[in-house]
């Protein structure tokens, strides 16, 4: 999304880095010092840990140490971590900016776990927690939050405290997790990493991440505004993304970000990568491999509700969104219709406004668009026929409540402000009929 807001004179002077022979030295906004950062003194850690890609029996724990060292994750059901289990240690190295991921295995489903990172000869790090998913055959209600767009200049991201108050079982970040091209344009890996460090220093973010787990996908600003797939900075931005988020990496394809996440029999999330596989020459936004995987998995899913998680809106006619790739969009709608796939709900961010949309081509389908978490508000008007609701006056997020256990299962989605003021609420039934 293009940035059109104006900077104050002081901001301009702060951002105006030295330029020598055409080379810009990136002038980063200094990271905030947080209460959590203070609690890390003596732990050997530089940032609080985070949990992500949680399943019924596993989780990914992300961490960052001060220097090269062996680190261990202790975890258990007891908040005091008495008789805690210990994951096999890993070694963090400078090549990865002293970040690392520890995979927890053989966990119990639908269980709250507490965990912390321990560096040898240091004080154990602060304790955080997450909840595991139900088994794939277990029907259980679920609550989760989603949104996107966290630009460093808009810290503190107070909306993260609003999300935390609602106690979601997980938080889905739908991209633009940093703005690599603003507040100093990142050109090197270290500069992209600096962006992540700055956002991870945000206190409300740290409080939320300490109390729930994450599913994260990227969008354009992890590299540059509306970047093309062959942009030479794309591999650099992708490397930094993997370094700084608790995202599982496919051993057979280290570049793969798209994946699915099952939350019991109630819900399955299809987390799409709508950036790195775009090919304008053949008109695809997903690329052939991702598209086949997605359509096959969506058709095979027996989850009561299927959430298509896309960083850019599926319903938008804009060239940078799905509207610029009509063949892929039409194929998705065709498969949903031909296979009679019920209870599909699209979730999106990116455009810096909140909206509920009847999907053109199949008005029985709904797309819920939210954001930003912390960025400039969008300029849209919401007058197009497809909009059922539109708001570009507040920072916002979506809270999804899946009521799957009753005789009449349904999803209720609330669009909430950074003060948890309700902007809009919709209910989507599992009947397969048009609401």
Question: 81: closest CA among 55, 44, 133, 117?
Answer: 117
d(CA 161, CA 206): 9
d(CA 66, CA 130): 24
Q: ∠ CA(355), CA(166), CA(172), 5° rounding?
A: 55
pLDDT number for residue 15: 36
| The CATH number of domain 142-429 is 3.60.21.70 | yes
pLDDT number for residue 36: 58
**Cα–chain center distance at 358:** 24
Q: List the chain domain ranges.
A: 35-131, 142-429
d(CA 159, CA 169): 17
- Phi-psi sector, 236: left (phi>0), alpha (psi -120 to 50), beta: alpha
The CATH number of the domain covering residues in 35-131: 2.60.40.380
Mean pLDDT per 10-residue interval, the chain, length 435 residues: 38 34 37 62 97 98 97 97 95 97 98 97 96 96 98 97 98 98 96 98 97 98 95 97 96 96 97 97 97 98 97 97 98 97 97 97 96 94 95 98 91 98 96 47
Q: Are strands 259-263 and 213-216 parallel, antiparallel or unpaired?
A: unpaired
pLDDT number for residue 34: 56
pLDDT number for residue 434: 39
pLDDT number for residue 35: 55
Q: Are strands 267-271 and 128-131 parallel, antiparallel or unpaired?
A: unpaired
What are the Cα distances from residue 392, in Å, to 160, 372, 408?
A: 19, 9, 33
d(CA 144, CA 129): 15
């Amino acid at each position: 999304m293009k940035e059109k807001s104006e900077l104050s004179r002081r901001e301009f002077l702060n951002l105006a880095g030295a330029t020598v022979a055409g080379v810009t030295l990136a002038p980063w906004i200094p990271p905030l010092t947080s209460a959590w950062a203070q609690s890390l003194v003596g732990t050997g850690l530089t940032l609080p840990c985070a949990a992500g890609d949680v399943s019924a029996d596993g989780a990914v724990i992300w961490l960052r140490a001060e220097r090269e060292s062996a680190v261990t994750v202790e975890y258990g059901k007891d908040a005091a971590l008495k008789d805690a289990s210990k994951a096999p240690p890993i070694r963090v190295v400078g090549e990865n900016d002293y970040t690392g991921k520890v995979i927890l295995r053989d966990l119990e489903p639908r269980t709250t776990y507490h965990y912390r990172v321990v560096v040898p000869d240091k004080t154990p790090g602060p304790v955080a927690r997450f909840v595991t998913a139900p088994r794939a055959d277990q029907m259980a209600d679920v609550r989760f939050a989603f949104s996107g767009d966290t630009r460093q200049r808009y810290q503190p991201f107070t909306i993260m405290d609003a999300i935390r108050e609602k106690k979601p079982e997980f938080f889905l970040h739908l991209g633009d997790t940093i703005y690599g091209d603003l507040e100093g344009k990142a050109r090197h890996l270290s500069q992209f990493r600096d962006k992540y460090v700055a956002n991870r220093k945000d206190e409300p973010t740290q409080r939320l991440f300490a109390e729930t787990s994450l599913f994260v996908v990227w969008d354009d600003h992890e590299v540059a505004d509306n970047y093309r797939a062959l942009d030479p900075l794309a591999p650099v931005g992708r490397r930094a993304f993997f370094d700084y988020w608790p995202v599982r990496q496919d051993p057979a394809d280290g570049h793969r970000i798209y994946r699915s996440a099952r939350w019991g029999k109630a819900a399955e999330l299809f987390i799409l990568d709508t950036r790195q596989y775009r090919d304008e020459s053949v008109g695809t936004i997903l690329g052939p491999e991702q598209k086949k995987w997605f359509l096959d998995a969506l058709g095979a899913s027996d989850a009561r509700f299927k959430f298509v998680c896309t960083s850019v809106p599926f319903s938008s006619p804009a060239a940078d969104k799905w509207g610029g790739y009509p063949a892929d969009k039409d194929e998705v709608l065709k498969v949903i219709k031909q296979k009679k796939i019920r209870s599909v709900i699209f979730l999106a961010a990116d455009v810096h406004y909140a909206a509920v949309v009847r999907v053109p081509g199949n008005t029985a389908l709904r797309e819920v668009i939210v954001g930003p978490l912390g960025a400039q508000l969008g300029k849209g008007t919401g007058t197009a026929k497809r909009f059922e609701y539109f708001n570009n006056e507040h920072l916002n997020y979506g809270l999804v409540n899946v009521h799957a256990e009753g005789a009449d299962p349904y999803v209720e989605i609330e669009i909430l402000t950074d003060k948890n003021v309700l902007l809009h609420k919709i209910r989507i039934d599992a009947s397969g009929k048009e609401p």
